[in-house]
Amino acid sequence: MIIELINETISKRRTGEEYILLEGLCNNHKLENEDDKLSYRFMDEFLMIQKCIGPVSGIISLTFKEEQLTDGQAVYEQFEEPEVEEVKAEAAPAEGDEEAAPAEEAPPAEEEGAKPKWNPKDFQWTITNRKSKNLAMVYRDYTGASFHSVCKKAEEYGDSSVDQISEALKDFCQTVEDHKDGKCYTQVIFKE
């Protein structure tokens, strides 16, 4: 519903601007319950914005805590090898036994040209342990080599929070304009 409202507002008010500045999206860190944060992940919201509104040229995060761009030491899922049971050969029934053992059905042979069965062991899976990626990591992974990150203290922009926010947004818009081919992620850290 929010995306529809944003699209409707853009279509009514846009007069030819190259960029649209959206505020207030991707704020799941403000949710109190961890399960709520995980059910509404940054990646889901970011990809919905990309799909329904348009490409994201830059993101600014006005926050009290710096977001890390490293995942730390990634821990990968280890798959145990299944135990292979030895099949014991049964003695052939003697002649004249009425109760002959039923013949075991052989598993169907894979047809030529058929796709092999999907096996999760063929891929490397990280163990997230209920820790989703922050927006900085999602944006970095999405943009790849064109990613440009800046982290600044709010005090660099002035003394009052109003001036700090205003100047940080001006600086961010200039950064986006300077890096047209790249993707910018700016963090502005305020004192609590």
Q: Is 151 helix (H, G, I), strand (E, B) or coil?
A: strand
Q: 58 near 185, Cβ under 8 Å?
A: yes
**Does residue 105 form part of some domain?**
no
**Does residue 99 form part of some domain?**
no
Give residue-wise pLDDT tens across range 18-77: 888 887 777 666 656 666 655 667 777 888 888 888 888 888 888 888 887 776 656 677
pTM summary value: 0.61
**Does residue 113 form part of some domain?**
no
SS3 content of the chain, % helix, strand, coil (to 5): 35, 10, 55
Whose CA is closest to 70, among 132, 142, 136? 136
Domain that holds residue 48: 20-73+124-189
Distance CA 171, CA 136 (A): 18
Give residue-wise pLDDT tens across range 149-184: 889 999 999 899 899 999 999 999 988 888 877 788
The total domain count for the chain is: 1
**Does residue 108 form part of some domain?**
no
For 73-86, give one letter per residue: b (16+ CB within 10 A) or e. Answer: eeeeeeeeeeeeee
**Does residue 51 form part of some domain?**
yes
**Does residue 85 form part of some domain?**
no
